[in-house]
Each structure stands twice: as structure tokens, then as C-alpha cells.
Structure 1
Amino acid sequence: MKQVKYRKITLNSLLLGLLVLLSFSITVNAQEGDPVKGKSIFNANCAACHRLDKKMTGPPLRNIEQKLADEQGLDRAWLTAWIHNSAGVIASGDAYAKQIFEEYGGTAMTAFPTLSDQDISDILAYTAEEAPPAETTADTAAVATDASAGGNVSNTIILIALAVLFGLLAVALVLVRQTLNKFAADKGIELPVKEKGLPIWKAFVQNQFLVLVTAIFLLLASAYFIYGYLMQIGVDQGYMPVQPIHYSHKIHAGDNQIDCKYCHSSARVSKHSGIPSLNVCMNCHKSIYEYTGEATEEYSQEFYTGEIKKLYAAVGWDEAEQKYTGETKPVKWVRIHNLPDFAYFNHSQHVTVGQIQCQTCHGPVEEMEIMYQYSPLTMGWCIDCHRQTDVAVEGNEYYTKIHEQLSKKYGVDKLTVAQMGGLECGKCHY
């Protein structure tokens, strides 16, 4: 009887042990992270300050859990507490937390209390992945070079072949003419000989009417071209200078849809739109240190990344230490849009009050790889705009009173800029 009871107890113990092992394995599997989900969570919450293999606002996070365990003896519980509330860990007096806090500028990491343990496991699984092999661009560049070289060789061969073909054709025509002349001589055929008349210039001079008509034509043509040349003085439409740092409006305003007035903020409140200071660029490029978007044969990813390095050199930004060195270099931007000193133009009046879009005058800047002067910016161009553009009065209190008065005067519902005095000389010249 005791033996049977003992066997029952042993069987129950085994079953209990199996349940414990099963529950433990389920718990472990639940804690195993998904690197795919972890990448998504990382990009949404961590990528603004961290990279896996590069120091930024915060330290690099490749194999961070293993590094902390090996170098500091810290486990996942410490990491979880740090992610949930880094300021609390620092306030607790933790030595390593204080060290990281001081090393990275005395700014506590943003707290993420809403991240679950599973989210953190997913993030750590993503950071634990092996670094991808460095992309070797030498082979790609070599292939591109070979392809372009092949294209150049092919074009050269075609041009040479065409030149040889035309040369052979010219020789053939000469030989045919000589053969025909020889055949005619053998047959006794006399070839007609053209009688020599007066030279063309003598015949022209003797005809006074042709001389008069030609003189008038030359005078009118000269006046036309001189007038056209003088009218283009100071008109720089299409002007596209090379800037010291290549700035792609297509990437910034087009692909990334950055509002024009984020960089040219003074256009809303000032006469001038202003050239953005480099610290505006660094608002984004502290974290964006290389270009990973689409590239072309003319502008590669390496080219764009090199231009970012020029920005760092200008502002004195130490990419490795993530801090400013104080050694700055001026960037001598080349002005593109320029009005004469006697012409007054106020950006804020057009942008804020008139609610005119930047593209109206500057063209499709979101498509411009290199910025250029889209409009002629001539007086006639401005006057035509004032004659054709209706004033935006809906919800614009600036124009409420004057719109009521002038709409009654002209008997219209909408007023153009010209009807509101936009053609008065003193508006632009004073």
C-alpha cells in the first residue's frame, strides 16, 4: 500500500515538474524578442538620438545588453528601469547612470514608461543582430565607370564610322565625276562652259533699289537686336550659380516635404526671406549624418554625404564626439534672386497678408535639384501679376474694410491687386 502511494506521489511530482518546465519555457519564449518588431519600435522611439553603430546624441546600441553585462555587470532589469525612467535611475545614485548622464551633456534620456517588457525584448533583439557587412562602393563605382566608359567608346566608334563613311562618299563622288568627264572626252562630247558674268557684288552695287532695301533691313535688324540686348540687362531668369555647399531643394522640399518657411522663416515677418543660418540645418543634421535616399548617376549617395560633411566643417561639428568645437568657417552663398535697389518688395506683405505661395514666384522649388531663378522679376511681370491676381480676402481681416469700400466702387465681388492700388508708382518706387 505504501509502495503504491509512493508511486502516486512520485508521478504527481513528475507531472508538477513538467508543468513548471513548460510554464518556464513559455515565459522564456514570451521574453524572446522579435528583431523585426524591435526595428519598428526602435525607429519610432529611439532613432532620433541613437544609431546602432555610431555615437550620436546617445551612445551606439549595437549589442548594448551584452556590453553592459560584460563591462558593468548590469542585467536586463537595469536596462528596463533605465528605459522606463532614466531620470529616476540617475536620482537613485546609480554610479553608471550618473556616468552616462555626465558623458552625454547632462541631459536625461526621454522616459518611455509605456514600453512593455516584450517591447523592450524586441528592441534588444534588434540591437543584438550582427552588423551587416560594410557596403563596398568601389565595385559599384567601377561598374558605373566601365559602363560610362563603354558608352563613351561606343559613341566615339559611331562618330568615327560616320566620318569615314562621309569621307568615302566624298571620294566616290569625285571619282564618279572624273569618270564621267573622261567618258565624255572619249566620246567627243563637249561639256557646256558657263560664261563669266559680272561678279555678284558689282551687280548688287549697280542696283540702287536693292542697296536701299538692304540698308533699311540691316538698320531695322540692328535696332531690334540692340533693343533686345538692352532689355535683358539685369534680367537673370534661369540664373543657376554653383553654391559652396550643394543643397537639393528636391530632397528637402520635395521628398521630405519640409515647409519653405521652416528654413526661410523671416519671409513671414520681414521684407527679406533671408538665408537660413547653419544652425537651422543642424536641427536635423545632428542626427542625419549620411544620405540614404534615392541617388542618380550625377548625384550619388556618397556625393550627398560629402556635402553634409562640408556642413559639419562649416559649423565646427565633431561628428565622433557629437559636440561643437568652436572652429567655424563662413559659407559664402551666392545670391540668386536680386532686385534693383530702387525697387521695393516686401516678402511678409505677399506671404502673410497676400497669402501668396512661394512657388508662384520661385517656381516648383520642390523639383529643383539646383535652385535657379524661375521668374524674370521684371517690372512688367510684377504689373501683370497685380492686374490678374485676386486679393485673398476670405478670412483675411487685413482687407475687410477696404474690400467693402472698393467692391462697391468697382461693382465687383473680387478685387485685383491693381484695383486696390497695386499699380501706383509709390508702391514699389519711393
Structure 2
Amino acid sequence: MKKVGNHTSFSRILLFCLALSLSFSLTSFAQETAAPAAAEAPAGGAAAPAAGAGDPVKGKELFNSLCAACHKLDAKSTGPALRGVADRHDRAWIYKWVHNSSEMIKSGDPAAVKLFAENNNSVMTPFPQLSEGDIDNIMAYTSMPIENGGGGGGVKAPVVDPNANGGSSNALILGALILVLGVLIVMLVLVNRTLRRVAASNGVVIVDEPRLSLWKAYAKNQFLVLVTVILLMLASSYFLYGYLMQIGVDQGYEPVQPIHFSHKIHAGDNGIDCKYCHSSARVSKASGIPSLNVCMNCHKNIAEFQGDKDSLYVDHSKEFYTGEIKKLYNAVGWDATAQKYTGVQKPVKWVRIHNLPDFVYFNHSQHVTVAGVECQTCHGPVEKMEVMRQHSPLTMGWCINCHRTTDVKVEGNEYYAKIHDELAKKYGKDKLTAADMGGTECGKCHY
């Protein structure tokens, strides 16, 4: 018998695979070490400005807690801009002004009277509790030069992606799997060639018999055709039913609003309670659209975005958020320079997100005040949403399921306590759900 030899040595294949694996590993290692090398670069923070007689760090804390409501460093607010105020007035005069500005105005001090008139006769809150050292600290902070780049404290170190190493590891695993798959393909090809050579050496003739095409064979098999038709009908019915059941369900609806309002910044980072803006949710059927006056309670003195542009809760640039605040000023008719209302207002055409059919009755106060349901139960993690969207499906099945699983809170409510005791004896259990108290009756939610 003729001896068949394998001219493609397996040792050569293994050596080739090992070399390829090593080269891939070195490439991945180089990518992984690039990020730490960039992270070790010196931040090189800007040199601290020369402080005066006070501590600018303590002064910043006092400024943010006492002064920021009416003053800004580089722009006029209710009061004048305070950067460089120590160079505009005598230090002893500033002490008297901060302790009791009204007394200085009544005494006829020319500088005090002029400053009072320039700021729309706005009376400054007296701070007799501040010592001269505290005022020196505030002036040291207001005397600091403007930093390059707007906010933040000097030059920041490069941000390193915490998932960089994990991404390289995943790429390495994926590359190894691809390599193994390639080796298996090569081995199968070699085995096929070897078998053909063995067959040829033994005089075996391989004849490729004509085969019936797959589609013709399938068409002749009546059982397979019948099963396929049944499966297609069932699948079509399933998808058709699912499509029809989604009509009118707007889960995930996320419209673009005329003024970009970030719930992530307001409710998340700043921790503003939902019911501060949607106050009618406590006492009314509807939660209500907050009036622009509610917005101006804060934004009368917040004319530009103060957050860090590199913060995790910010999705846009500082200039973008500041531009949206200017849209609010334009709508409400507020002149930030003159610090007064112009009287020219423009309506904001907000786009409604959550909308129930007209035949459905839902009362916010009954759920928020009486039941104590948190806003996130229905509206999702609002504090993490940059753009507000419909989180829940708001379908009848979703509401009924909530009524079946939510216990009624009867603490401090004599009306519910009486009904609860009667029904508890009837059903023989201590805790009653909203469904046990009639929460699944048609008339409770439908007119």
C-alpha cells in the first residue's frame, strides 16, 4: 500500500498559532499600559493666587452659604458682582456695610447711598454675626483671579476610563476564541485532505452522487409542510396580538421639549423634591405643569450653569445649559442685566409625556398623599433621567397588578382603619391590598 504523508506538519501549525497568540497578547498589553501612562502624567495645577489678609478657602464656604443667593463673582445679580470688591472700597467701610448696610444708608454715607440706588434699592441682609476675620476671608476669595476654563479648581488630571482594563481583557478573550476557531478550521481542512489522500492511495474512488435539492425534498414531505404552516400561523397570531396590544402604549416616549430641563441635575444632583415643582400632586387629580415662577425662585440668581462640565451627571456642555436658562428668561420676561421683569412674556409649549385615555380616572392626591406612593414607583428613576420619558406602560394590567400587590397603609387614617378591620376579619388576614378593598372594581377607575 502506498504510504500517505502529511506534508503540512502539525508542529508548524502549532508554532504559527503560538506566535500569533503572543503577538496579539503583546498588542493588548501595550494598549493596557497606555492608559496608566497617561494617568501618571502630572496634573500641573495652576499656582494658587496670592491671598490677602484672609483664607480664600474658608471665604468660598462663607460666600456660597451667605452671599451666593444675591451675589455672583463676575456678573450682576440682585446685588453687584463681588470679584475685586476689596479694591473698590475701603476695608473698614466694607466691615460696616456687611454688618448693617441699612444703618449706613440712613446715615447718608455717599458710597452707601450710591450703591443702594445702583442696585434697584435692594436692601442687603445684615450680617452682624460675621467677624472681621470672616469678612477678610470672603474678600480673599473674591480677590482671586478668574481661572482659565471657567469652573473647577485649576487644571485637571486626565480622566481615565475605569473600564479600560476590562475592555482589553474582553478583547483578549475574544481574540483567543477567534484563534481557537481558526485552528479548528485549519485542522478540519487538513483532516479532509489526509482522508482523501488515504482513499486515493487505496484505490477508492469518491463519487459525488446527484442529490435532490433541499426545497424539492421539503415540498414532497407533506408532514413537514403541515407543521410549518401551523407554526407560521401561530407565530403570525402571536406577533399580531402583540402589535395590537401595544396600540396606545407609549412606554419609552421621550419627546424634545422647548426648554431642555434636566431631571438628572435638578432632582438628582441638587436633590430637589419632585413635589416642590409638581406641588398639586399632593392635593389634586393632576400633578400639574410647574409655572415659570417656580423656576425663577432659583434661577433669578442662577443665570448660568455652575456645575462641573466633567461631572458624571452632566450630558451637555456648560454653554448648552446656560443657553437653556436664557430661554427661560426670554419666556418669563426677565432682564438679567437690569435685574427686573420687562413685562413681555412668551408661553412655553411643553410637550405632554404621560397621557391616559379620557375614560380612565386617576387621582394623584389619592396615590401620593393617601397611599404614600413614591413618584419613582410609576415614573421610574426620574433623578437619573436627563430627558424625561414615560417609564411605565400605564396599561390596565400594570395598574391592576400594582393594586393586587400593594398593601393599603392605614396608619393615621381612621376611615381606612375601620374598613380595614372589617375586611381583615372577612378575609382572615392582617394586611389588605388595594384589590381587597375594591381596587380592581371597574367603577373605581372608569367612568
2:62, 2:306 → 1: CA distance? 22
2:298 pairs with 1:284? yes
Superposition deviation, residue 260 in structure 1: 0.8
1:133, 1:214 → 2: CA distance? 72
Pair 102,189 (structure 1): closer, same or farther in 2 beyond 3 Å: farther
Q: CA contact under 8 A between 1:291 and 1:305: conserved in structure 2?
A: no
- Equivalence map 1:168-179=2 (5 Å): none
2:424, 2:323 → 1: CA distance? 56
2:289 pairs with 1:275? yes
1:263, 1:36 → 2: CA distance? 33
Superposition deviation, residue 428 in structure 1: 0.6
Aligned positions, number: 380
Which residue of the other structure, out of 346, 357, 361, is the alignment partner of 1:340? 357
Superposition deviation, residue 59 in structure 1: 0.3
With the length of structure 2 as denominator, give the TM-score of the two structures. Answer: 0.71
2:345 pairs with 1:331? no
2:236, 2:360 → 1: CA distance? 31
Pair 53,111 (structure 1): closer, same or farther in 2 beyond 3 Å: same
Superposition deviation, residue 227 in structure 1: 0.9
2:50 pairs with 1:33? no
Which residue of the other structure, out of 44, 49, 68, is the alignment partner of 1:47? 68
Pair 284,213 (structure 1): closer, same or farther in 2 beyond 3 Å: same
1:405, 1:397 → 2: CA distance? 12
Superposition deviation, residue 403 in structure 1: 2.6
2:68, 2:312 → 1: CA distance? 29
Q: CA contact under 8 A between 2:265 and 2:314: conserved in structure 1?
A: no
What's 1:86 paired with? 101
CA offsets 1:406-427 (integer angstroms, 9 cap, x no match): 3333333322111211111011
Superposition deviation, residue 189 in structure 1: 7.2
Pair 132,304 (structure 1): closer, same or farther in 2 beyond 3 Å: closer
What's 1:120 paired with? 135
Superposition deviation, residue 253 in structure 1: 1.5
What's 1:15 paired with? none
Amino acid of the residue matched to residue 372 of structure 1? R
SS in 1 for 2:294: helix
Amino acid of the residue matched to residue 373 of structure 2? I
- Equivalence map 1:292-303=2 (5 Å): 292-293=307-308, 295=310, 299=314, 303=317
Aligned residues with identical type, % of pairs: 60
2:92 pairs with 1:66? no
Give the CA RMSD over aligned residues: 4.1
Amino acid of the residue matched to residue 55 of structure 1? K
CA offsets 1:364-391 (integer angstroms, 9 cap, x no match): 2222233222222111111111111111
Pair 136,414 (structure 1): closer, same or farther in 2 beyond 3 Å: closer
SS in 1 for 2:103: helix
Q: CA contact under 8 A between 2:252 and 2:389: conserved in structure 1?
A: yes
1:119, 1:299 → 2: CA distance? 33
Which residue of the other structure, out of 426, 435, 439, is the alignment partner of 1:409? 426
2:145 pairs with 1:131? yes
Pair 200,330 (structure 1): closer, same or farther in 2 beyond 3 Å: same
2:93, 2:380 → 1: CA distance? 55
What's 1:152 paired with? none
With the length of structure 1 as denominator, give the TM-score of the two structures. Answer: 0.74
1:192, 1:422 → 2: CA distance? 76
2:73, 2:229 → 1: CA distance? 79
Rg larger in structure: 1
Amino acid of the residue matched to residue 331 of structure 1? V
Q: CA contact under 8 A between 1:315 and 1:324: conserved in structure 2?
A: no
Amino acid of the residue matched to residue 115 of structure 2? I
1:343, 1:122 → 2: CA distance? 60
What's 2:255 paired with? 241
2:226 pairs with 1:212? yes
1:338, 1:213 → 2: CA distance? 44
Q: Structure 1: where are the runs of 5+ without partners?
A: 1-30, 69-74, 148-164
2:91, 2:345 → 1: CA distance? 42
CA offsets 1:323-378 (integer angstroms, 9 cap, x no match): 33444444333322221221111111100111111111112222223322222211
Amino acid of the residue matched to residue 392 of structure 1? K
What's 1:381 paired with? 398
Amino acid of the residue matched to residue 412 of structure 1? K
